[in-house]
Amino acid sequence: MCIYLDYVSTWLNSKPVVFGSITDNRITNLRMNESKIKIKLPEAWKWEKLEDALDFVIGGDWGKDEGLDDPSYGNALCIRGSEFKNWDQEKGRTASLRKIKLSNIEKRKLIEGDILVEISGGGPEQPVGRTVLIDRTVLSYKPEIPKICTNFLRLIRPKDFVDSKFLNLYLKHFYYSGEIVRYQGGSNNLRNLKFSDYIKIKFPLPPKPTQQAIVSKIEELFSELDKGIEQLKATQQQLKIYRRAVLKWAFEGKLTNENANEKILPDGWKYTKIEEVAECLDSKRKPVNKVERLTRQGNIPYFGANGRTGWINDFLFNEPLVLVVEDETFVGRELPFSYKITGKSWVNNHAHILKPKKGLNIDYLNYQLAYYPFLPLTTGTTGRKKLTKNALMNAPIKICSSEEQEQIVSEIERRLSVADKIEEAIRQSLQQGEVLRQAILKKAFEGKLVTYIATETIGEVIKVIPRERKILAGKIIQLFHTDKHFGLTKFQKILYLVENFAELPYETNFIQETAGPYDRAFTSAFRNEMKEKNWALEESKRGITKLITSTDIDSLVNDYAAFFSEKNHQIDFVIQQLQHKSTHDAELVATLYAVWNNRLIKNKPIKIELLIEDFFNWSAKKKEKFLQEEIVITYNWMKKIKLIPSGFGKAVEAEV
């Protein structure tokens, strides 16, 4: 059904194991707690108690109304549990502006890497204990206003040896596994997290570089999974359009008449009012409120405007009927306006009841009314409009012979049955997607997703390339691959300038190389992965190692906007300045920028003669390649266009 889901499933080396039933998007009955399953952790991993991994824990504050006039209070955006629902899309932008004591803001102000835990709220269908991660995107919204959490949440701040993304992913896994249910307190309508018990749970913890490698791999696999889910949901929307189109064609006569014209009725067809071909049974319907229905529980379906809304112990009807919306949402409605019921039933006063007269096929009537243009016939000014009985019964419909009605119904159902099968396959694939997500996390926290590599002889551990850094590198290659000067050297200089000027926060390791700042570890690892995944090819021409993009580069850079939308202006600025520069010029700009930035980092004076001295001291070959005059010209050009370093990052030094 979807190549992305197949990719992830294949990567996991087998069909995913269904760990439990799926209910309300939760995978239940999976137990990963150390007390339940004795997982043999890889070497260098350990079981860590949550409270021992935290540097800071504090409750939230709701404060006062934003209109409060008190100098001891200040503005803060308060993140609530209600923000969690659409967190991935909105990132807390719906947080409520409140007045909070300045001393409380100071103690509770959120920083990047904080995790918020829901400690109160929830209910029978949604246990409390959801978590969200505070990242740059959250903090960049209205950055002048501090963010805090409300008193229904708890702020936890991991210690330095714990990667926040890693911990948040584990806590999400813990929640969706169903294990969180053991830590619930309170009533059915308002759940409380037993936080003092929750904070004592143990989680598997590898060394930090391995945590970061695991996060990077999870993000990569989740990205593929999300693409698959997005495709499936798009197909669902297309099916909705197709269903409507089938019904439209049917009642234009196109399913039974080869030469049908949507503007002219086919031969033997006519318009007639609904009252002429169907009886209205509205007088027999009877509403029963929820309280009374609780005392009359049974197995008879109780119907309203949008289908069955409950059960009852008696019936009003015992025959096939068509129900049509009377008062509900008509504007922008996606659900059909009509549906067919059979057998014993009870209908309330929010749906009209139609019983076809002789000569009218009940399915023909239902299909024709499903997406009928009722809106102009309704009364009222709000979204919840009303279709009166009189308006319904006087609405015109198309009638043809009984034989052709049956043929039309047959053609409709033949086509819709195919759509139903596809819909079911999509539903199962979406369900599989959620199972795959948990399978990925399960493997991750058992140490089976990424292998920890330690080299004791040199005391180093594997370096982890943040996924966003690979995406940025891919974007640079994609934008510059037609540039006649663009090769590995220019690529490295552009990468350095972009990352430093845009102040991207992930770790880099640029060192002094003859041709300027160079991150050898990243370049080597990225080139290997680039070739392995066919993102780009290398070709040597006239002493330049050219980078030639492949069509697979799109799979890498598709998520560029998700990571760099906030920094795109700075990134674009640097790229535009270097777009047509030669490799010689790119080396000059990058090296001058680096020595300038080094002085800012070390709090040394900035004078052109000192920068020239540092430039020539960078490498013995600099004096052979560059003139003092062109350094001065480049320095003035950089100042003019404001390509000026800020002292960001760490100094670029010679490799020891």
Q: Give yes or no: residues 198 and 277 share one domain.
A: no
- Looking at 364, 399, 434, which one is the last position of a domain? 399
Looking at residue 316, the DSSP 8-state letter turns out to be S
Q: Give yes or no: residues 627 and 510 share one domain.
A: yes
pLDDT of residue 43: 85
Residue 508 belongs to some domain of the structure: yes
Do 60 and 155 touch, CB atoms closer than 8 A? Answer: yes
* Paired sense of beta strands 300-304 and 344-347, if any: parallel
Q: Which of 40, 432, 422, 448 minimizes the C-alpha distance to 243? A: 422
Q: Give yes or no: residues 197 and 316 share one domain.
A: no
Residues 6+ positions from 44 with CB-CB distance below 8 Å: 206, 207, 210, 452, 454
Report the half-sphere exposure of 538 (CA within 13 A, side-chain side): 16
Q: Give yes or no: residues 601 and 507 share one domain.
A: yes
User: What parts of the chain have a pLDDT lower than 70?
Assistant: 1-38, 124, 188-189, 382-383, 451-464, 541-544, 656
Q: Give yes or no: residues 200 and 91 share one domain.
A: yes
Q: Give yes or no: residues 492 and 612 share one domain.
A: yes
Residue 70 belongs to some domain of the structure: yes
pLDDT of residue 10: 53
Whole-angstrom Cα distance, residue 566 to residue 585?
A: 28
Q: Give yes or no: residues 509 and 387 share one domain.
A: no
CB atoms within 10 A of CB 40: 7
Q: Give yes or no: residues 67 and 185 share one domain.
A: yes
Q: Give yes or no: residues 184 and 64 share one domain.
A: yes
- Looking at 167, 186, 205, which one is the last position of a domain? 205
Whole-angstrom Cα distance, residue 263 to residue 368?
A: 17
pLDDT of residue 2: 57
Q: Which of 176, 128, 232, 223 minimizes the C-alpha distance to 24? A: 176
From the CA atom positions of the chain, what is the Rg in Å? 32
Residue 381 belongs to some domain of the structure: yes
Residue 147 belongs to some domain of the structure: yes
| DSSP calls for 257-278 | -TT-BTTBPPTT-EEEEHHHHE
Residue 452 belongs to some domain of the structure: no
Residue 157 tokens, joined: 């701040």
Burial code (b: 16+ CB inside 10 Å, e: under 16) for 437-455 equals: bbbbbbbbbbbebbebeee
Q: Which residue range is the domain that position 91 belongs to?
A: 46-205
E strand residue ranges, 207-350: 270-273, 278-280, 300-304, 307-312, 317-318, 321-325, 327-329, 338-341, 344-347
Q: How many domains does the chain have?
A: 3
Q: Given CA atoms 133, 137, 141, 144 in this order, what sign does their dihedral have?
A: positive
Do 208 and 165 touch, CB atoms closer than 8 A? Answer: no
Q: Give yes or no: residues 388 and 476 share one domain.
A: no
Kindly compute the dihedral angle of the four CA atoms of residues 43, 46, 47, 51, in this order, to the nearest 10 degrees. -160
pLDDT tens profile 118-172: 999 877 678 999 999 999 889 989 999 999 999 999 999 999 999 999 999 999 9
Do 598 and 651 touch, CB atoms closer than 8 A? Answer: yes
Q: What is the pTM of this model?
A: 0.63
pLDDT of residue 451: 59
- Looking at 399, 418, 442, which one is the last position of a domain? 399
pLDDT tens profile 371-380: 999 989 999 8
* Paired sense of beta strands 511-513 and 653-654, if any: parallel
Residues 6+ positions from 159 with CB-CB distance below 8 Å: 53, 54, 55
CATH of residue 136: 3.90.220.20
Residue 102 belongs to some domain of the structure: yes
Residues 6+ positions from 101 with CB-CB distance below 8 Å: 61, 63, 72, 73, 74
Q: Give yes or no: residues 182 and 279 share one domain.
A: no
Q: Which of 1, 19, 3, 6 minimizes the C-alpha distance to 435? A: 19
Q: Give yes or no: residues 200 and 279 share one domain.
A: no
